[in-house]
Chain A
Amino acid sequence: MKEENARAYWAANVRLILSYLVVWFVVSYGCGILLADALNNIQFFGFKLGFWFAQQGSIYVFLALIVMYARSMNKLDRKFDVHEE
C-alpha cells in the first residue's frame, strides 16, 4: 500500500510537471522564437507581440509557473500524505 501510494504520488507529480512544461515551451520556444515573426504582426500596447514574449512575457510566465507548481505540489504532498512534518 505504501509503495503504491508513492508510485501514484510520483505519477501525479510527473503529469503536473509535463503540463507545466508544455506551457513553458509554448511561451518561450513557441511564442518567443518559432512563432515570433507571425505574432509580430499583432500589436500589443507599444510592442510587437512576438518581441514582447521574447523580452518580457516569457519571463513573467516562467515566474507564474514556478509559483503555481510549488502551490500544486504542496496540495499534492498533503493529499498523498507525504508532506514534511
Chain B
Amino acid sequence: MDVQLLTYLFVGGSFALYIGIAIWSRAGSTKEFYVAGGGVSPLANGAATAADWMSAASFISMAGIIAFSGYDASVYLMGWTGGYVLLAMLLAPYLRKFGKFTVPDFIGDRYYSNVARTVAVICVIFVSFTYVAGQMRGVGIVFARFLEVDVNVGVIIGMAIVFFYAVLGGMKGITYTQVAQYCVLIFAFLVPAVFLSIMMTGHVLPQTGFGATVLDAAGNDTGVYLLDRLDQIVQDLGFGAYTDGSKSTIDVFFITAALMCGTAGLPHVIVRFFTVPTVRDARISAGWALFFIALLYTTAPAVGAFARTNLIETVNNTEYQELPGWFYNWENSGLIGWLDKNNDGRVQMAAGDPFKGAPAFAGSREEATGGVGQRVITNAPTDNASEIYVDRDIMVLANPEIGNLPAWVIALVAAGGVAAALSTAAGLLLVISSAVSHDLLKKTLKPDISEKQELLAARLAAVVAIIIAGYFGINPPGFVAQVVAFAFGLAAASFFPVILMGIFYKRMNKEGAIAGMAVGLAFTFCYIVYFKFVSPELNTADNWLFGVSPEGIGTVGMVLNFIVALVVSRVTAPPPEHIQHIVEDIRVPRGAGAAQAH
C-alpha cells in the first residue's frame, strides 16, 4: 500500500476512535461537562493532561528547535516539565479540595470579589485563545503536509472533529479522547526515535543512545561519543558548540522560571486536576502526567541531536544529485531550499541564514529548474557561505524517511501530529466555554439560570469558541508565533502568584490580590508588546531590563505581583472570617468528596 492510502487509513481510523469515545461518554450534567463528574482515575487524568499539554508544537517542532539551538533549548525542556513539581506540591491538591469547576471560580470565591473573578475570566480567555489559534493552524498544516489537502480544508475538518466531541461530551468526552490521543501521539513519536537511535548508536533507548558512541555506515563502533562528534562538526561549520549556550545565563534562568510558573498557572492544565476523585489522587495524578510527558520530553533532545548529526553528515558538501530521496521530497514541499551560491553543484552548510526568511520559489520543480535540477529560489542571497534553508519541523517529519522506515510509520506520524493538535485545542476550548457559561453567565450576570440552561450555554459557548478558533486558524494573525511568550508570561504573572497566595497566605485579601494581578499583568503585557510589536528593532540584550528577554519577563512580572500584593494586603483590612475558614479547609484533604457537590 502506498503512503497516501495508509495515512488516510491511520488518520481516519483514529478519528473514528475519537468519535466513538465521544458518543460513549456524552455529558448529561454541568458537573460532567466541566469536570467529567469528578470521577476520572489519576492514571487516565495523567494521560489526558499529557495530551492536553503536548501540542502540535511539542510533537512536530520541539525536537527541531533543540536540534538547531542545542543547549539553549534546555529552557523548554526544564521549563515545561518543572512546572508540574510546582503544580503537584503548591496548587493541584488544594484546588481539588476546594472542589469547584474553574480557575476563576477559585479566584472569585477566595477573594470574595466579582472584580477579581472578571479579571481572571478575561485572562483565561486571552491566554487560551492565544494558544488555540496556533493549534488550529497546526491541524491544518499537518493535514496539508500528509494528506495533500488545502490548509484551510484541514482546519475545517479539525474543527468538525473537535466540535463533535467537545460540544457533545464536554470535559468527559475530552478526557477519554485525550487518553486515546496520548497513546497515538506517544507511539508515533517513539517508534521513529527508537529506529533512529538504533541506526546511529545501536541503542534501543534514545535516552541512552544520546550519550553513546556513534556507529559508522557499516555498523561498526567509531568510539566517538555522539555529542562530542556533534560539537565538533557544528564548530567546524562555524556554529557555537551544541552543548554550549548562546543565551546569557540570567536570561536562561528567567525564561525557565517564566515557563515553569506559567505552566503551573495555565488554566487548561489546572482544571484537569478538578476531575479526579480525591486530593490524594490529585497529587499522584501530577506524577502520572509528568511521567507521560517525560517519555516525549526526554526523547526529543535525543532526536534533536541524532537528526542534526545525520542532517549535516548526509547533506554537507554532497553533490546535489547524490542526495537521498527525502531531500527532494521536502524541497518539493518547500521546507528545504538550496541556493548554490558558489555554483559548484554541492550543498554547503555554514553558520548564518542562506537568505532572508523562508524560501520563495520561482515555480514548481518542473517549471523552474536550476543547473543541477534544484528548485530555483528567488530570495536575495546573504553574503555568508551558507547555502541551505532547512525548516526545523523536518527534524520530526522526515525522520521516518531518513531512517528508511516503512510507509506505515510515516502514516503513524501524521496521525500523531493530528492527535497532538486536536487534544490541546479541545482542552483549551473547554476552558474558554466554561469561563463564559459558568464564571461570566452563572456566577456574575445571571445567577438564577437552571442547570439545564447553563449546560446549553456551555455548549453554545463551545460552538462559538470553535468557530472563532477556526477563523484564526484560517486567517492566522501574523503574530501567533510571537504571542506564545504571552500565554506563559501572563499566566506566570497573574494566576500563579494569586492562587499560590490564596492557599499559603491566609491574610491575603481582595485588595492585595487585585492590585498584584493588575500590576503583574500590566507590566508583563507592556514589556512584551513594546519589544515584540512597538519597537521590534530594539529587541536586543542591550535594551532589555536586567538583560531579560520578553520570553522571560513573566518572572519579573510575577515577582512584582508578589511584592505589590503583600504590601497592599498589609495596609488594608484582613479578609473576612469565613474566607479564612475556606483557606483552613482547603489545606486539609479530608472531605474532598463533599466539597464537589454544589
| Interface positions of A (Cβ within 8 A of B) | 6, 9-10, 13-14, 17, 20-21, 24, 28-29, 32-34, 36, 40, 44-48, 51-52, 54-56, 58-60, 62-63, 65-67, 69-70, 73-74, 77, 82-84
Contact = CB atoms under 8 A, between A and B. Distances in A.
Contacts of B73: 55
B234 interface: no
A47 B591 CA distance: 48
Contacts of A6: 584, 587-588
Contacts of A52: 211
Interface string B425-467: 0000000000000000000000000000000000000000000
Given A55-B301, A59-B78, A60-B294, A24 B85 contact: yes
Interface residues of B, number: 54
A5 B546 CA distance: 45
B287 A58 contact: no
A46 B280 contact: no
Contacts of A66: 84-85, 88-89, 283-284, 286-287, 290
A60 B504 CA distance: 27
Contacts of B84: 62, 66
A14 B593 CA distance: 24
Task: Please give me the 8 A-B residue pairs with the lowest Cβ-Cβ distance, nearest first.
Answer: A46-B225, A54-B74, A46-B211, A66-B287, A70-B283, A45-B211, A55-B301, A51-B243
Contacts of A32: 74, 78, 256
Interface of B: 66, 71, 73-74, 77-78, 81-82, 84-85, 88-90, 93, 207-208, 210-213, 225-228, 243-245, 249, 252-253, 256-257, 278-280, 283-284, 286-287, 290-291, 294, 297-298, 301, 504, 584, 587-593
Contact of A84 (B244, B253, B504, B589): B589
A72 B298 CA distance: 26
State the main secondary structure of chain B at its contact with A.
Answer: helix
A40 B211 CA distance: 14
A21 B588 contact: no
Contacts of A77: 280, 589-590
Q: DSSP majority for the A interface?
A: helix
B253 A46 contact: no
Contacts of B77: 54-55, 58-59
